[in-house]
């Protein structure tokens, strides 16, 4: 048996890799396996690698397999069996013994030779030491795992981008922020991930700036989420460099600082409120900085208390509190600050500059940091000295009042809350059916109240006695006499008397208003009868108005159908009759002629249906919505509108390309458009222009919030505009109200626009009036877009004689859609042209190189890889004489809006008829 190296075909065993391994000294040894004899020959180096006995004699495949690591034997055996079953190259990695106790990783590379029957006959190969490579790969994997663990553990958002702004990595924070799994956002830019393209452009511009400058930056970024949430992020961004120091992207980390910004904004708002309050109030405003105990005052400190200073320490303020109140105030304010409170309030005595003490009500608010620590406290001191004196005077006045009311019709009452006493003079007791000598309590008062009035009376009394509310006690209630059982109405008013934060008494008066209530009841009953009578009269008026309106509408329709419908019927009779006669005279075998007649007959039938709709226009019918194309509806009304507007008013229609379909009652929608057009005509007594326009539009959330009842979304817009005098704001505000009209008596019922409003709302839409004095009026009707609507097929019109070409005129058709390309080729061939075709821009350029006689290229705009516009630019650059005709399934407006075609470029829209194609091609060729 020759040495194994003799049987190693290096080309078959990845020769370059083997040569590199030989040069590096990485090849351990070689083998040759006679498969049919199952005899394996190895060189001495391989014997040592496998730990084989050099004098072992004949060796089999299993001898080698048993010498590798036990965990790798099964996979090695499977790999060998796979190689000999298919033949060709064999590559496998496993561990062999290295020394007495060590193992090393090796890579076996071999080649299985097969005989003519496909059976393996020989299997030579080499063994390469890859221990160092495996060590490097394992170290790399550990480093990558450590890096991924670190990135995931970093708080906030961590990410990396390439030079084009595509995301390379992102941690869990990035995934949560984007709201998609990594496989959906990795490799995509901010422009593809963010709904707000303005914000996306700002972020990408900042990233580009940082990569261009090579400097790290820290910046705040604002993000508006699709759900309306607004967030702020503090981002640190730095260029990402490769091993050579070249900038290959950007790495960044962001922390959500929305809460911090909110706290800062809240602090600024509070500061601003207190600053403005300090300027507008006469109270002594103070601002206590906790860090150094510094207090800033406004000028009211000098005005109220004579202390001519604008700054002090907190201790100075405490030292000027009355000694008997000082400890209590110090404890109360620190209790709020130290235990997380926000608001502090207390009454105490404060020393003036002249030594006298003023009664003070002091309130303050604690401002805290993000961790809840107190930072500042802002408050105001209110001088109660005058109020205290007034309360003392009030007490004296009340006593005099009580004595005065003893002999009057007014009942006095006094509730002593401190001693739980109810003071009722004889006059008051009489209102509750109680004898003068019978003692009374609050229980007697509540027991005598009517059950329906108990709750409101209790709530009103509690509010009057609440130091936080100090409300006026003002309530009317019914009492049931304790002794006589008579029900009386009582009107009571009163007010609480307070000592600091405690109510001591509630005093007031009560008047018997039973007679007044009886009079009010009688008056209310009379009003109800009058309102009922008025409602009946209004209902009768509405009925009469409805009948009048219906009569007027029917009269108008009669006049309209007497003119237009009469003329239509005459013309239709002159069309349908001859067509019927012609049908009977046609050659039955002439299918094309019959088809043309059928088309004409169908058009005549549709015109007849239009006449029937005119005749049924005045009927009151429930809505019968259907899928409709507003462009076709408006176009079909052109003659009707022209007749209705008269000779002094010019009608213009502006119909949008690619208009969405909507779901509405076509007859009622025609009624709406006609109604608006007639209103526009009446607004221009000297004549003018009425424009009916259609468009696709989107009403966003901002518009919906400003217009109650409007749902955001996609709408079909139908707008009717005039060039009249316009409407003032007060008229616009009432324009949709029933019976409101600016026309003179006899010219209108005032129900026209209210009918428009009702129909549009019933159809789920929206209607809006835009008008300015001297600039005319526009009424916009928004109907919801119908998603997934079936689009009807228009009837093909009869073609005129086709403009034809000549064989020497050569045209190249470029279209990726097979059916459209075939139709174009067949049509142009039938028209007499010599035609080539291509399914891509690359194929088209090859044909132009081979056929210089081509005079016109007819190409689609939207194609894969290279669009029609780029193809045309390149072709015209090479062949300036070449003329180009574009075709596209998009409307001209869409193409221009998307920047694909410039104005003036030759274009024919899809789908096109043979007549249209013939005319357009001749037009381009003859320019």
Look at residues 512, 529, 552 and tell me which one is the last residue of a structural domain: 512
Query: What confidence score (pLDDT) does residue 610 get?
Result: 52
Phi, psi of 455 (to 5 degrees): -65, -50
Query: What confidence score (pLDDT) does residue 153 get?
Result: 62
pTM confidence score: 0.27
Query: What confidence score (pLDDT) does residue 683 get?
Result: 84
| CATH number, domain containing residue 915 | 3.40.50.2300
Comparing 603 with 90, which gets the higher pLDDT? 90
**pLDDT per position as a tens digit, 522-579:** 888 888 887 777 776 676 566 556 545 544 554 454 454 444 544 454 455 445 444 5
**pLDDT per position as a tens digit, 700-723:** 888 888 777 788 999 999 999 998
Residue 729: C-alpha distances to residues 737, 760, 773 (Å): 14, 22, 9
The residue assigned the tokens 């058709």 is 813
| CATH number, domain containing residue 208 | 3.30.450.20
Handedness of CA 497, 499, 500, 501 (dihedral sign): negative
Comparing 517 with 633, which gets the higher pLDDT? 633
Is the pLDDT at 148 greater than 50? The verdict is yes
Determine which helix (DSSP H) or strand (DSSP E) holds 782, and give its type and residue range. strand 776-784
User: By the 8 A CB rule, do 436 and 429 touch?
Assistant: yes
Flag the least confident range among 129-143, 228-242, 412-426, 797-811. Answer: 797-811
Helices 638-645 and 666-682, axial angle in degrees (round to 10): 30
DSSP string, 278-324: HHH-SSEEEEEETTTTEEEE-THHHHHH----SEEEHHHHHHTB-HH
Do 353 and 435 belong to one domain?
no
Q: How confident is the model at residue 1 (pLDDT cuts 50, 70, 90)?
A: very low
Token pair belonging to 683:
């607004």
Do 430 and 474 belong to one domain?
yes
Which DSSP symbol is given to 70?
G
Secondary structure of residue 22 in the 3-state scheme: helix
For residue 563, tell me if it sits in a domain: no
Question: Which among 367, 347, 366, 372 is positioned nearest to 358, based on CA atoms?
Answer: 347
The residue assigned the tokens 């142009």 is 828
Which DSSP symbol is given to 477?
E
Question: Which among 790, 857, 793, 860 is positioned nearest to 820, based on CA atoms?
Answer: 860
For residue 263, tell me if it sits in a domain: no
**pLDDT per position as a tens digit, 308-347:** 988 999 999 999 999 999 999 999 999 998 888 889 999 9
Q: Note the helical H segments in 586-659.
A: 591-615, 630-636, 638-645
Token pair belonging to 528:
């109800």
Sort 53 into a burial class: Cβ within 10 Å, 0-12 / 13-18 / 19+.
exposed
Q: How many residues appear in the chain?
A: 927
Distance CA(488)–CA(517), nearest Å, equals: 9
Phi, psi of 148 (to 5 degrees): -65, -40
Do 698 and 724 belong to one domain?
yes
Do 394 and 371 belong to one domain?
no
Comparing 326 with 370, which gets the higher pLDDT? 326
Comparing 653 with 596, which gets the higher pLDDT? 653
For residue 444, tell me if it sits in a domain: yes
Flag the least confident range among 46-55, 91-100, 126-135, 187-196. Answer: 46-55
Query: What confidence score (pLDDT) does residue 41 get?
Result: 87
Is the pLDDT at 10 greater than 50? The verdict is no
| CA-angle at 548, arms to 545 and 551, nearest 5° | 150
Do 780 and 878 belong to one domain?
no
DSSP string, 523-578: HHHHHHHHHHHHHHHHHHHHHHHHHHHHHHHHHHHHHHIIIIIHHHHHHHHHHHHH
**pLDDT per position as a tens digit, 392-451:** 776 676 666 556 555 556 777 889 888 888 888 887 888 888 888 888 888 888 888 899
Q: How confident is the model over 686-693, as a mean pLDDT?
A: 90
Do 646 and 764 belong to one domain?
yes
Do 708 and 633 belong to one domain?
yes
Q: How confident is the model at residue 612 (pLDDT cuts 50, 70, 90)?
A: very low
For residue 100, tell me if it sits in a domain: yes
Helices 914-925 and 818-830, axial angle in degrees (round to 10): 70
For residue 146, tell me if it sits in a domain: no
Do 626 and 749 belong to one domain?
yes
User: By the 8 A CB rule, do 816 and 860 touch?
Assistant: yes
Query: What confidence score (pLDDT) does residue 564 get?
Result: 54
For residue 307, tell me if it sits in a domain: yes
Do 776 and 655 belong to one domain?
yes
Long-range contacts of 352-357 (CB under 8 A, 24+ apart): 352/305, 352/306, 352/307, 353/305, 353/306, 353/307, 353/308, 354/306, 357/322
Phi, psi of 617 (to 5 degrees): -60, -35
Query: What confidence score (pLDDT) does residue 720 get?
Result: 93
User: By the 8 A CB rule, do 871 and 885 touch?
Assistant: no
User: By the 8 A CB rule, do 925 and 917 touch?
Assistant: no
Q: How confident is the model over 8-37, as a mean pLDDT?
A: 64
| CATH number, domain containing residue 642 | 3.30.565.10
User: Cα Rg for the chain, rounded, in angstroms?
Assistant: 48
Question: Which among 892, 888, 889, 820 is positioned nearest to 860, based on CA atoms?
Answer: 888
Comparing 350 with 869, which gets the higher pLDDT? 350
Residue 66: C-alpha distances to residues 34, 51, 74, 332, 411 (Å): 18, 10, 10, 88, 118
User: By the 8 A CB rule, do 829 and 835 touch?
Assistant: yes
The residue assigned the tokens 């194994």 is 4
Query: What confidence score (pLDDT) does residue 316 get?
Result: 94
Q: How confident is the model over 56-84, as a mean pLDDT?
A: 86
Query: What confidence score (pLDDT) does residue 849 get?
Result: 93
Domain count of the fold of the chain: 6
Look at residues 240, 256, 272 and tell me which one is the last residue of a structural domain: 256
Query: Other CB atoms closer than 10 Å to residue 860's CB: what's the count?
Result: 22
Query: What confidence score (pLDDT) does residue 8 get?
Result: 45
Phi, psi of 108 (to 5 degrees): -95, 130
Comparing 13 with 201, which gets the higher pLDDT? 201
Check whether the bond before 118 is cis (ω within 30° of 0).
no
Do 686 and 755 belong to one domain?
yes
- Sort residue 500 into left (φ over 0), alpha (ψ -120 to 50) or beta: left
Do 662 and 767 belong to one domain?
yes
Q: How confident is the model over 709-738, as a mean pLDDT?
A: 85
Distance CA(343)–CA(378), nearest Å, equals: 10
Sort 356 into a burial class: Cβ within 10 Å, 0-12 / 13-18 / 19+.
exposed
Sort 869 into a burial class: Cβ within 10 Å, 0-12 / 13-18 / 19+.
buried
Distance CA(296)–CA(286), nearest Å, equals: 6
**pLDDT per position as a tens digit, 253-274:** 887 777 777 766 666 666 665 5
Do 364 and 314 belong to one domain?
yes
Phi, psi of 221 (to 5 degrees): -125, 135
Long-range contacts of 46-51 (CB under 8 A, 24+ apart): 46/4, 46/127, 49/96, 49/97, 49/98, 49/106, 49/127, 50/96, 50/97, 51/96, 51/97
For residue 820, tell me if it sits in a domain: yes
Question: Which among 716, 694, 657 is positioned nearest to 907, based on CA atoms?
Answer: 657
Token pair belonging to 49:
């690698």
Question: Which among 916, 906, 911 is positioned nearest to 831, based on CA atoms?
Answer: 916
DSSP string, 460-513: HHHHHH-TTT---EEEEEEEE-TTT--EEEEEEEEEEEEETTEEEEEEEEEEE-
Look at residues 136, 165, 185 and tell me which one is the last residue of a structural domain: 136
**Would you report the helix, strand and coil content of the chain in percent, each value rounded to 5?**
45, 25, 30
Distance CA(740)–CA(725), nearest Å, equals: 18
Question: Which among 182, 160, 183 is positioned nearest to 172, based on CA atoms?
Answer: 182
Handedness of CA 277, 278, 280, 284 (dihedral sign): positive
Tell me which residue range forms the domain holding 352: 283-383
Residue 491: C-alpha distances to residues 428, 451, 474, 504 (Å): 12, 16, 8, 23
Q: How confident is the model over 470-485, as a mean pLDDT?
A: 89
Query: What confidence score (pLDDT) does residue 120 get?
Result: 93
Q: How confident is the model at residue 9 (pLDDT cuts 50, 70, 90)?
A: very low
Query: What confidence score (pLDDT) does residue 82 get?
Result: 92
Question: Which among 57, 60, 33, 59 is positioned nearest to 126, based on CA atoms?
Answer: 33
Query: What confidence score (pLDDT) does residue 810 get?
Result: 93
For residue 575, tell me if it sits in a domain: no
């Amino acid at each position: 048996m020759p040495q194994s190296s003799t049987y190693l075909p290096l080309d078959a065993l990845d020769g370059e890799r083997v040569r590199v391994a030989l040069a590096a000294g990485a090849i351990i040894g070689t083998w040759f396996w006679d498969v049919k004899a199952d005899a394996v020959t190895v060189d001495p180096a391989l014997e040592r690698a496998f730990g084989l006995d050099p004098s072992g004699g004949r060796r089999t495949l299993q001898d080698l397999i048993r010498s590798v690591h036990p965990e790798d034997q099964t996979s090695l055996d499977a790999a060998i069996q796979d190689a000999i079953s298919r033949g060709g190259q064999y590559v496998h990695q496993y561990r062999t013994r290295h020394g007495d106790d060590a193992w090393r990783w090796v890579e076996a590379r071999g080649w299985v030779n097969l005989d003519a029957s496909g059976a393996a006959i020989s299997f030579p190969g080499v063994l390469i030491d890859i221990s160092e490579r495996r060590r490097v790969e394992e170290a790399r994997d550990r480093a990558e795992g450590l890096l991924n663990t670190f990135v995931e553990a970093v708080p906030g958002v961590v990410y990396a981008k390439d030079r084009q702004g595509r995301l390379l990595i992102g941690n869990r924070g990035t995934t949560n922020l984007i709201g998609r799994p990594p496989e959906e956002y990795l490799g995509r830019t901010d422009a593809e991930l963010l709904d707000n393209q303005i914000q996306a452009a700002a972020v990408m511009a900042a990233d580009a700036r940082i990569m261009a400058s090579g400097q790290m930056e820290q910046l705040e970024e604002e993000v508006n989420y699709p759900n309306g949430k607004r967030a702020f992020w503090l981002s640190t961004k730095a260029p990402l460099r490769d091993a050579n120091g070249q900038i290959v992207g950007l790495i960044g980390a962001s922390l959500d600082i929305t809460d911090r910004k909110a706290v800062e904004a809240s602090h600024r708002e509070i500061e601003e409120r207190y600053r403005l309050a300090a300027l507008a109030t006469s109270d002594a405003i103070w601002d206590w900085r906790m860090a150094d105990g510094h207090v800033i005052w406004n000028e009211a400190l000098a005005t109220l208390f004579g202390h001519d200073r604008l700054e002090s320490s907190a201790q100075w303020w405490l030292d000027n509190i009355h000694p008997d109140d000082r400890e209590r105030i110090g404890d109360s304010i620190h209790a709020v600050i130290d235990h997380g409170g926000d608001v502090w309030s207390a009454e105490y005595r404060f020393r003036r500059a002249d030594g006298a003490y003023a009664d003070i009500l002091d309130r303050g608010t604690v401002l805290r940091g993000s961790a809840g620590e107190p930072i500042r406290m802002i408050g105001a001191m209110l001088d109660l000295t005058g109020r205290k004196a007034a309360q003392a005077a009030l007490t004296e006045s009340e006593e005099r009042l009580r004595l005065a009311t003893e002999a009057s019709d007014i009942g006095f009452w006094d509730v002593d809350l401190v001693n739980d006493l109810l003071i009722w003079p004889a006059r008051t007791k009489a209102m509750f059916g109680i004898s003068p000598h019978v003692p009374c309590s609050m229980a007697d008062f509540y027991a005598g109240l009517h059950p329906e009035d108990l709750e409101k009376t209790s709530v009103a009394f509690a509010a009057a006695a609440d130091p936080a509310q100090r409300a006026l006690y003002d309530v009317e209630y019914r009492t049931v006499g304790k002794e006589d059982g008579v029900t009386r109405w009582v009107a009571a008013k009163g007010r609480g008397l307070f000592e600091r934060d405690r109510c001591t008494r509630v005093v007031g008066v009560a008047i018997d208003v039973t007679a007044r209530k009886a009079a009010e009841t009688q008056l209310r009953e009379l009003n109800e009868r009058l309102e009922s009578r008025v409602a009946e009269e209004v209902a009768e008026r509405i009925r009469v108005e409805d009948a009048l309106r219906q009569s007027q509408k029917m009269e108008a329709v009669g006049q309209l159908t007497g003119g237009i419908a009469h003329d239509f019927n005459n013309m239709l009779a002159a069309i349908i009759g001859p067509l019927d006669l012609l049908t009977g005279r046609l050659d039955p075998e002439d299918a094309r002629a019959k088809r043309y007649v059928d088309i004409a007959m169908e058009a005549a039938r549709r015109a007849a249906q239009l006449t029937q709709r005119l005749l049924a226009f005045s009927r009151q019918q429930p809505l019968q919505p259907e899928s409709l194309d507003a462009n076709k509806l408006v176009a079909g009304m052109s003659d009707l509108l022209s007749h209705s507007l008269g000779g002094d008013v010019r009608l213009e229609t502006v119909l949008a390309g690619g208009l969405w379909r909507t779901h509405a009652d076509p007859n009622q929608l025609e009624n709406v458009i006609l109604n608006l057009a007639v209103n526009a005509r009446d607004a221009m007594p000297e004549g003018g222009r009425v424009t009916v326009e259609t468009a696709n539009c989107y009403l966003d959330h901002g518009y919906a919030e400003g217009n109650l009842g409007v749902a955001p979304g996609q709408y079909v817009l139908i707008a009717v505009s005039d060039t009249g005098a316009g409407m003032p704001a007060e008229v616009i505000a009432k324009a949709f109200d029933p019976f409101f009209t600016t026309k003179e008596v006899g010219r209108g019922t005032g129900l026209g626009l209210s009918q428009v409003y009702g129909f549009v709302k019933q159809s789920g839409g929206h209607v809006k009036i835009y008008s300015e004095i001297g600039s005319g009026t526009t009424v916009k009707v928004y109907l919801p877009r119908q998603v997934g609507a079936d689009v009807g097929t228009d009837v093909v019109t009869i073609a005129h004689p086709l403009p034809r070409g000549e064989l020497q005129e050569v045209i190249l058709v470029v279209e990726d859609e097979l059916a459209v390309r075939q139709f174009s080729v067949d049509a142009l061939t039938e028209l007499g042209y010599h035609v080539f075709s291509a399914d891509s821009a690359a194929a088209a350029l090859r044909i132009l190189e081979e056929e210089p006689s081509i005079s016109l290229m007819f190409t689609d705009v939207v194609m894969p890889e290279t669009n029609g516009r780029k193809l045309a630019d390149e072709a015209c650059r090479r062949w300036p004489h070449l003329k180009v005709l574009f075709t596209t399934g998009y409307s001209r407006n869409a193409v221009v809006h998307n920047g694909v075609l410039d104005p003036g470029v030759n274009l024919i829209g899809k789908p096109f008829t043979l007549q249209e194609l013939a005319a357009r091609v001749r037009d381009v060729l003859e320019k």
